Chains A and B, each alone.
Chain A
Amino acid sequence: MTPEAQQMVQYIVEMIRKPGVTVEENTPLVSSGLIDSMALVDLLTKLEDITHLRIPAGKVQPKDMDTVEKMFATAQRVGKPRAVKPLDVPPPPRR
């Protein structure tokens, strides 16, 4: 497991707070009911942090986030370099 994947596993274990549950790179998370779909946005944000990529959520389906392995593959597939993350640029004044 890469250090990045390890970091994600650690985050997930803390998130589910269930004693005795082990999470591997290929453990199903959403389809096994360990993680609710409302928590997907947190995983996506964490994935952006770890990979230093901007991941457009519209290009990601919940099934792409079902295991740690798939998350990193998804980041590779749709992630954009951080330099062009439009949301962190202050917006022009409105009105």
Chain B
Amino acid sequence: MIRPNNLIAALDAAPANRPFITYWVDEDERETVTFGEFAGRARRQAAVLRNNGVSVGERVVIIMPQGISAMATFVGAMMLGAVPAFLAYPNFKVEPSKYRFGLAGVTANLRAKAVVIDEEFPDEMLGHVALGEEAKLLRVGAGREADGEKDFPMGDIASESLAFIQHSAGTTGLQKGVALTHGAVLRQIEHLRGVLKIKSNDATDIIYNWLPLYHDMGLIACFMLPLVCHLPVVMQSPLDWVMQPESTLQIFTECKCTLAWMPNFAFQFVPRRTPQKRWAQYDLSSVRALINCSEPVRASSMLEFHNAFSSIGLKKTALQSSYAMAENVFAVTQSEIDGPSGPAVIWADGQEFRGAHRIAPVAEGAAGAVSFTSSGRLLPGQLVRIASNSGVALGEGFVGEILVSGDCLFEGYYNRPDLTAKAIVDGWYYTGDLGFLLNGELFVVGRKKDLLIIGGENIYPQDIEEIVGSHPAIHDGRVIAMGVYNPNLGTEEIIAVAEVEREEDLAKAGEIETEIRSSVTSGLGVAVRTIFLKPPKWIVKSTAGKPARSTTREKLLQEHPELSAEN
């Protein structure tokens, strides 16, 4: 097989009649396109973009609901040699003015030439937003797609030219666009094809996806991988999925999907939110690998999923894990697929782990022991180093920051040399994740960066703190937001602690809390679980006079044992 030089060449090599994307709405509504039909739709979108002045190297921002049209627009932009980026579709919870502000910032940073939205895009979300000097707003719909010409000469796309930009976090991080070349994406996919044991030229694998396409799991694993490997993918929107998690079981059963990726919480959400009396209607024997990715992997969540569905054909070896990030295109590690067991789980002495940051293996379930689930071995061409706080490389069994390098690493955040210089030093990307290597496998234990991962989505605590601190009753700057793991959900929940300006404000705590809760949701689209209002001077300050995150967290957990009781 000839190796394609770019993603478009890879798509063009696909058998035209093979099914590519099935968009699943619910049990009685779905749409399927073949590779040939998809390429045709993408070509028509390319013509529309070109007729609107988009050309080689220019950025195209796509804000459309999850679906075939959005995907065809993305590929259409790449066909022109332009550089597309998916942005999240506005969530109805988010206030239009906040949305417009964010959109203006992102399009200005990307210096976008076109912003493509769908016909149903809510007008109030746009207002008179300035999209940057040259950006043009295009409304695309099923009807307008046909406007373009079918065929036109395509320029040659060089392997090391930019293919697209993927964003690495949901909020402030929207401005952190990870720019990736065709070559880097193709190298990642070749490595994935190998470790996932996907057979070339043979669509025996079918991918299932409900993840958003603006997230690396959705974009790389569930769109670019099937595009390059010519595999069918059954896809639904994350919104439809969250309203009917049972559809995961329905789709695996009906479409006989073999591969899927999900964040940790979904391994609990699906069994808990599907009535047990209906489990027996489904059949998960087709699943070859269901990969836990993008949140710390919890053995208990995987076990819950397995215990629920082993009686309907789910193989224990089908539950797998991976460590991935947008900055490395996608995966750094992958546990062994089709191996004798799932990812390794190890037990270590708790005191040694917390005190000496060292892994001292002990027997399973020993008193005071902690357990970790492996994220697997490195993909070919990838390098990992574990570094101490002072930057010294640590040996196996020592916990430190995970640094990543290799042949898929991004070259920088688009238009943000300041952020790039902080993130990549001497060719190593500082992930901000903490972990250790043992027996050649990587174990991820938590975060060094103050980042919350809620249901697989990255959220910066500073964004929450800023909104909470802007409430008139709150002492500005005296707020700490943190993620506290909730074992019932299998993910973190947002907890905020804030000092009131005057102690007497505490009498109105309920009212203040309601107002804060509502402004966090309208600003960021996420819900805060609990807001703790405290009297002035409650939050612990560092020597520099800033709120000290970890000490305040410990103080809060001590005062509210109900929080840590769940850990």
Contacts and interface: CB of A to CB of B under 8 A. Distances in A.
A36 B510 CA distance: 19
A57 B244 contact: yes
A35 B527 contact: yes
B521 A31 contact: yes
A87 B250 CA distance: 10
B514 to A, nearest CB: 7
B97 to A, nearest CB: 15
Interface string B496-514: 0000000000000010001
A6 interface: no
Interface in B279-311: 281, 283
B455 A38 contact: yes
B283 A57 contact: no
B92 A57 contact: no
A57 B527 contact: no
B514 A32 contact: yes
Contact of A56 (B28, B93, B281, B514): B28
A81 interface: no
Given A32-B514, A56-B26, A62 B239 contact: yes
Contacts of B333: none
B123 interface: no
Contacts of B529: 36
- Chain A interface residue count: which class? 20 to 34
Interface in A38-78: 38, 40-42, 44-45, 56-63, 66
B517 A32 contact: yes
A63 B92 CA distance: 6
B456 to A, nearest CB: 12
Contacts of B275: 45
B489 A31 contact: no
A41 B528 contact: no
A90 B520 CA distance: 44
B150 interface: no
Nearest to A94: B283
B128 interface: no
A32 B520 CA distance: 9
Contacts of A63: 92
A86 B250 CA distance: 12
A37 to B, nearest CB: 6
Interface of A is mostly: loop
A33 B92 CA distance: 12
Given A32-B514, A32-B521, A62-B92, A57 B26 contact: yes
Contacts of A86: 27
A61 B239 contact: yes
Nearest to A90: B281
B281 A91 contact: yes
B533 to A, nearest CB: 13
B518 interface: yes
B464 to A, nearest CB: 11
B240 interface: yes
A42 B488 CA distance: 15
Contacts of A58: 25-27, 29, 240, 243-244
A92 B247 CA distance: 18
A83 interface: no
B551 to A, nearest CB: 27
Contact of A41 (B243, B278, B517): B243
B243 A60 contact: yes
B281 A87 contact: yes
A9 B520 CA distance: 24
Contacts of B92: 31, 61-63, 66
A41 B273 contact: yes
A33 B273 contact: no
A5 interface: no
A59 to B, nearest CB: 7
A18 to B, nearest CB: 8
Nearest to A58: B26
A3 interface: no
B522 interface: yes
A40 B253 CA distance: 24
A1 interface: no
A15 to B, nearest CB: 13
Contacts of B96: none
Contacts of A32: 514, 517-518, 521
Interface centre among B239, B520, B528 (most CB of A within 10 A): B239
Contacts of B244: 41, 44, 57-58
Nearest to B515: A32
Contacts of A34: 517, 527
Contact of B243 (A28, A31, A62, A66): A62
Interface string A21-37: 10000001011111111
A1 B521 CA distance: 27
A31 B93 contact: yes
B522 A31 contact: yes
Nearest to A44: B243
A63 B244 CA distance: 15
B434 to A, nearest CB: 26
A95 B286 CA distance: 12
B245 interface: yes
Contacts of A45: 275
Interface of A: 19-21, 28, 30-38, 40-42, 44-45, 56-63, 66, 86-88, 90-91, 94-95
Given A33-B518, A33-B521, A41-B244, 10 more contacts: A21-B514, A32-B517, A33-B528, A38-B489, A45-B275, A57-B240, A58-B25, A59-B25, A60-B243, A91-B281
17 contacts: A31-B92, A32-B521, A35-B527, A37-B242, A37-B527, A38-B242, A38-B489, A40-B242, A57-B240, A58-B243, A61-B92, A62-B243, A63-B92, A66-B92, A87-B281, A88-B278, A94-B283
Task: List the 9 closest pairs (A to B, CB-CB), nearest first.
Answer: A58-B26, A33-B521, A57-B244, A33-B517, A63-B92, A57-B243, A58-B25, A36-B527, A33-B527
